[in-house]
């Protein structure tokens, strides 16, 4: 199992320089990845950093760790612009990007800007948007005319360095699991402020529902001390993402957690 940091882009971590400090500490301490939240938290009264600008700064100041989002609501992004951002980040980072995608669960981040609020429509936009992203990332000419998006004979250059840039799908509901089965990984929503919300047994059942036996990643979020990463590894997880946000304490306290390194419990 690999070990990463799930890093907030709000509160203290709305300052991209703080996120860079955390990412550098993570790389120096042996972690395998840093994955940023993608929230427009200013829509509900909290400061927030743009994840792609922040990830570019992290890419420029690290050399080894995987980087990405956990997760991006594709329906509030224009997929061709998003494809360009992610491809550029992959080139900048030397091919280290993992793209986390999801429906988006914060209603104000859609409704307050006149974006689509119906989750069923957003789900359709997500599925079609992922198809557009994957097609553009091939570096080949793309023509697509769908219910939500059109691409008319466009080739994205430069393409990502990775031949198949990994896409992880977030969410625990049955449609999310069915969606994850089409792509490269599942980012399970396994923790909230009260603790770990999905047991290893539940995780194993969900992995069975997904039904992938090939090179497929399963990432779980949590706090060591509340849950044992090794138990989730035994259930089929391939990544443990340690949650780092203001609920963990002061910046000094969370940096201390990161600097202790990814010691399995």
Ranges of each domain in the chain: 2-259
Other CB atoms within 10 Å distance of the CB of residue 18: 19
Per-residue confidence (pLDDT) for residue 196, from 0 to 100: 62
* Vertex 17 angle, CA 52 and 3, to 5°: 70
pTM as predicted: 0.96
Chain position carrying tokens 């992004």: 77
**What are the distances in angstroms from CA 106 to CA 40, 173, 249?**
9, 16, 24
Query: CA 12, 17, 23, 28 torsion: positive or negative?
Result: negative
Average pLDDT, the chain: 95
Pairing label, strands 167-170, 97-102: parallel
Q: From CA 239, how far away is CA 103, in angstroms rounded? A: 21
Q: What is the mean pLDDT of residues 237-255?
A: 96
pLDDT in tens, 95-143: 999 999 999 988 899 999 999 999 999 999 999 999 999 999 999 999 9
- Among 241, 181, 190, which residue's Cα sits nearest to residue 216? 181
Let me know: does 33 contact 58? Beta carbons within 8 Å: no
Q: Which two tokens stand for residue 159?
A: 């393409």
* Cα–Cα separations (whole angstroms), residue 232 to 66, 93, 194, 264: 20, 29, 18, 11
User: What six digits make up the tokens of 85?
Assistant: 């951002």
Asked if residues 17 and 47 have their Cβ atoms less than 8 Å apart, the reply is: no
What is the predicted pLDDT for the residue at 192? 65
pLDDT at position 213 is: 83
The rounded distance, in Å, linking the Cα atoms of 131 and 201 is 32
Q: Which pLDDT band, with edges at 50, 70 and 90, does 194 fall under?
A: low
DSSP 92-128: HHTS-EEEEEE----THHHHTTT----HHHHHHHHHH
Q: Which value, to the nearest 10 degrees, does the dihedral of the CA atoms of residues 238, 60, 22, 198 take? A: -30
User: What 8-state DSSP symbol labels residue 45?
Assistant: T
For residues 103 and 123, the answer to whether their CB atoms sit within 8 Å is yes
Q: Which residues pair with 145 in a beta bridge?
A: 150
pLDDT tens for each residue of 21-63: 999 999 999 999 999 999 999 999 999 999 999 999 999 999 9
Give the contacts of 131 (CB within 8 A, at least 6 positions apart): 144, 146
Range 2-259: architecture per CATH? Alpha-Beta Barrel (3.20)
The number of residues in the chain equals: 265
C-alpha to C-alpha distance for 137 and 235, rounded to whole angstroms: 32
Please say whether the beta carbons of 50 and 43 come within 8 A. Answer: no
User: pLDDT digits over 164-186, tens only?
Assistant: 999 999 999 999 999 999 999 99
Banded model confidence at residue 229, pLDDT cuts 50, 70, 90: very high
């Amino acid at each position: 199992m690999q070990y990463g940091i799930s890093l907030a882009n709000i509160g203290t971590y709305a300052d991209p320089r703080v996120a860079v400090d955390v990412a550098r500490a993570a790389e120096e301490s042996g972690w395998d990845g840093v994955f940023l939240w993608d929230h427009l938290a200013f829509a509900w009264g909290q400061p927030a950093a743009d994840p792609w600008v922040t990830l570019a700064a992290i890419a420029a100041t690290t050399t080894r760790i995987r980087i990405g989002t956990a997760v991006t609501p594709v329906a509030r992004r224009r997929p061709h612009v998003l494809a360009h951002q992610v491809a550029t980040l992959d080139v900048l980072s030397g091919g280290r990007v993992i793209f986390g995608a999801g429906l988006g669960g914060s209603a104000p981040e859609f409704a307050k800007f006149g974006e689509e609020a119906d989750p069923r429509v957003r789900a359709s936009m997500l599925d079609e948007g992922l198809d557009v992203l994957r097609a553009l990332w091939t570096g080949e000419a793309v023509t697509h005319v769908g219910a939500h998006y059109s691409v008319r004979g466009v080739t994205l250059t430069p393409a990502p360095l990775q031949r198949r840039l990994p896409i992880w799908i977030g969410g625990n509901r049955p449609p999310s699991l069915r969606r994850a089965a089409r792509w490269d990984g599942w980012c399970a929503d396994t923790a909230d402020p009260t603790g770990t919300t999905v047991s290893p047994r539940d995780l194993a059942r969900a992995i069975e529902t997904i039904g992938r036996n090939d090179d497929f990643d399963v990432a779980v979020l949590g706090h060591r001390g509340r849950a044992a990463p090794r138990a989730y590894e035994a259930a089929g997880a391939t990544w443990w993402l340690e949650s780092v946000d203001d609920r963990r304490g002061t910046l000094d306290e969370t940096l201390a957690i990161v600097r202790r390194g990814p010691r399995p419990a």
